[in-house]
Amino acid sequence: MQVYFVGAGPGDPELITVKGQRLLSRADVIIYAGSLVNPALLSLAQSGAAIYNSASMTLDEVIAVMKKAVAEGKTVVRLHTGDPSIYGAIQEQMDALDKSGIQYEVIPGVSSFLATAAALKREYTLPEISQTVIITRMEGRTPVPEKEKLQSLASHEATMCIFLSVHMLDSVMQELIDGGYSPDTPVAIVQKASWPEQKIFRGTLNTIGKIALDGGVDRTAMIVVGKVLDTEYALSRLYAPEFGHLFRPAREDSKQ
């Protein structure tokens, strides 16, 4: 294998996988997504590795660098922020490599929506509150299919992690309210989750717009919406004494 798509994780350089770290430290060529990947990860590169920032490159240029390296028998790491399968634009790269008969492997990463949960110290799936996490974005220059508009997703009142949308916060909140969430539903915005400069803003669908504006929120931020952020909830069945499962029988004395 000569090309590896590697998830860099959300920012903290220690949140790359062990496998990703090993591949990065042995790569001859590294192409990283410069706008979001923490440059500290590049210090893992071996001396002499060629390093490209894809922020200023087109798809064709990225593929050309990969092809040339492969032809020279070199190993390439394509480093994407978070997990590459989420808004990573890797499909078009993989398809181009397929066309050229170049083999590749994908190494997953810790997505920013997970680092966000960690920062908030909340669980996205609470019994009887929400058992579903919707990963989505507001329509911007990239269109969103009609059935996935925020307003229709909001009708589920599930936990939502909204990427790429904090600069349109007021419209996001309006669509969610129009779609069915109550205006007092809790919202959190985590900016640069897992980076030293991480910031958390909390409010409700009604109040978060002003709170984020006053706090000067910038683009690298995740919006989380849902009752899981702040609620009473039923305890998990998994650890309930009367609930037996494959690895632990139910305790008779706790059955009522």
Compare residues 3 and 190 and give the one whose CB is closer to ligand SAH: 190
Q: Is 99 exposed, middle or buried (0-12, 13-18, 19+ CB in 10 A)?
A: exposed
When CB distances to ligand SAH are compared, the closest residue is: 82
Compare residues 54 and 112 and give the one whose CB is closer to ligand SAH: 112
Q: Is 213 strand, coil or helix? A: helix
Query: Considering the complex, what minimum distance in angstroms separates the CB of residue 57 from ligand SAH?
Result: 17
Query: Considering the complex, what minimum distance in angstroms separates the CB of residue 145 from ligand SAH?
Result: 18
- Alpha-carbon gap, residue 201 to 115, rounded angstroms: 15
Compare residues 37 and 44 and give the one whose CB is closer to ligand SAH: 37
Compare residues 103 and 142 and give the one whose CB is closer to ligand SAH: 142
In the β-sheet with 50-53, what is the strand arrangement from edge to edge? 50-53, 29-32, 76-80, 3-7, 104-107
- Alpha-carbon gap, residue 250 to 52, rounded angstroms: 56
- Alpha-carbon gap, residue 102 to 235, rounded angstroms: 49
Query: Considering the complex, what minimum distance in angstroms separates the CB of residue 112 from ligand SAH?
Result: 3
Query: Considering the complex, what minimum distance in angstroms separates the CB of residue 119 from ligand SAH?
Result: 8
- Chain residues binding ligand SAH by CB under 6 A are 10-11, 36, 80-83, 86-88, 111-112, 115-116, 163-164, 190, 192-195, 219-222
Compare residues 187 and 193 and give the one whose CB is closer to ligand SAH: 193
Q: Half-sphere exposure (CA, 13 Å, Cβ side) for 50? A: 12
Q: Is 208 strand, coil or helix? A: helix
Query: Considering the complex, what minimum distance in angstroms separates the CB of residue 2 from ligand SAH?
Result: 23
